[in-house]
Amino acid sequence: MRRLLFEDDAQFWFETLRLFGHASYGGADFGEVLSTASRITAGDYDGWHDAWLATAERVAAEAAAAQPISARDGFLRASTYFRAAEFFLHGTPADPRIDYAYRRGVECFDAAAARIPWLEPVEIPYETTTLRGYFYRAPGPGPRPTLVMHNGFDGSAEELHYFGALGGHERGYHVLTFDGPGQPGAIHRDGLVFRPDWEQVVGPVLDFLLTDPGVDPARIGLLGVSLGGVLAPRAAAFEPRLAAVVAVDGVYDGSSVFTGLLGLERAELERRARAERDDEFDELIAAARAKSPVLRWACDHGRYVMGAPTDRRFLAAYLDYHVMDGIAERITCPVLVCEAADDLFFAGDTPEESEPRRLYRALTGPKRLSSFTAEEGADAHCHAGAQRLAVGRIFDWLDATL
């Protein structure tokens, strides 16, 4: 898809397209996104923050004075814009603007949820704390199929409202969304950083879910978005209670995004990232950051969510996010692998080397590959900008599978 804004900054354009896409389920308005983005200079993180914060505050103030339905809609949009405001600030974790915008975004989403009778904030017991999430209760009697959803490297449980949670509720599913370690709720509240053994996260979530008598224990699916496209399959390899898994989009080896950006083979990236010291490699990363908006953002955010002191230590930690070495082959439940034709992060050098296709080939159980194209307006990472299309295909597969 051609970039309509930020032509020389793929990361700024993708985040803008992502915001446009949330309009499909009420998480943004096209004109608000276009007007705000038009005031921003590519690569200006402070300017991005200031523009989105101003829009968020304006929309939230109007929502606070509105009638119930208008208030619900306004708070949902404001929540999205507050999330956008702090998105590029994570290279300096102590920046007070991060916590302020995150807190205001959650407040706005919860204010909207309070006006939606079937949507309930939940606290899921996890180790010595809890994970924040939301339960979307389907109408009607009897045990229902349930979809558990989590985001990926940078998304939130609140954002999942537009990535499929609302769509699932419309189709008669219970939906449980949550933020795991490394994701916004867990980072902001408890400082919990990412962990690769995601089955240790999904297990407690399923324990919590199965205390609800309205949940059919034989019909539980798990969906992961973005980096969740490797986390969800990883969990399914070790969690027998799952009846289906959706990877949006599929990832076999998360480190491929950095082998591509740095021009290194995986073995060399691993050797150099995990070295006790490699000044030349540190300089290579710094030079690549200066040229690539994607790498600049990914390293800044990666240090934040992995608890890494340097870019090199972040890259070393990120190497553990894969389903290689026989892990994918352990999955026995049906898997839907989604693929974006022009994925910003996981497209690979050729279509056959895309991360979704590598994952698909490794799976030995029931599986389907669903490709999304430019002609459909759905070729961007996680089908940003085509959420109605993607949600429809995913739930049609879940209907047939569960």
Q: Which residues are catalytic?
A: 226
Q: Are 221 and 148 in contact (CB under 8 A)?
A: yes
Q: Are 285 and 308 in contact (CB under 8 A)?
A: no
Cβ-Cβ contacts under 8 Å for 326 (sequence gap 6 or more): none
**Kind of pairing between the strands at 215-225 and 144-150:** parallel
Tokens of 51: 């523009």
Cβ-Cβ contacts under 8 Å for 46 (sequence gap 6 or more): none
Query: CA dihedral in degrees (232, 233, 237, 243; nearest 10)?
Result: 80
As a residue count, the chain comes to 402
Strand order from edge to edge, sheet including 367-372 = 119-126, 129-136, 174-178, 144-150, 215-225, 244-248, 335-340, 367-372
Cβ-Cβ contacts under 8 Å for 221 (sequence gap 6 or more): 145, 146, 147, 148, 242, 243, 244, 245, 246, 398, 401, 402
A 10 A CB-CB count for 2 gives 6
Question: Where are the extended beta strands (E) located within 199-270?
Answer: 215-225, 244-248
d(CA 342, CA 140): 40
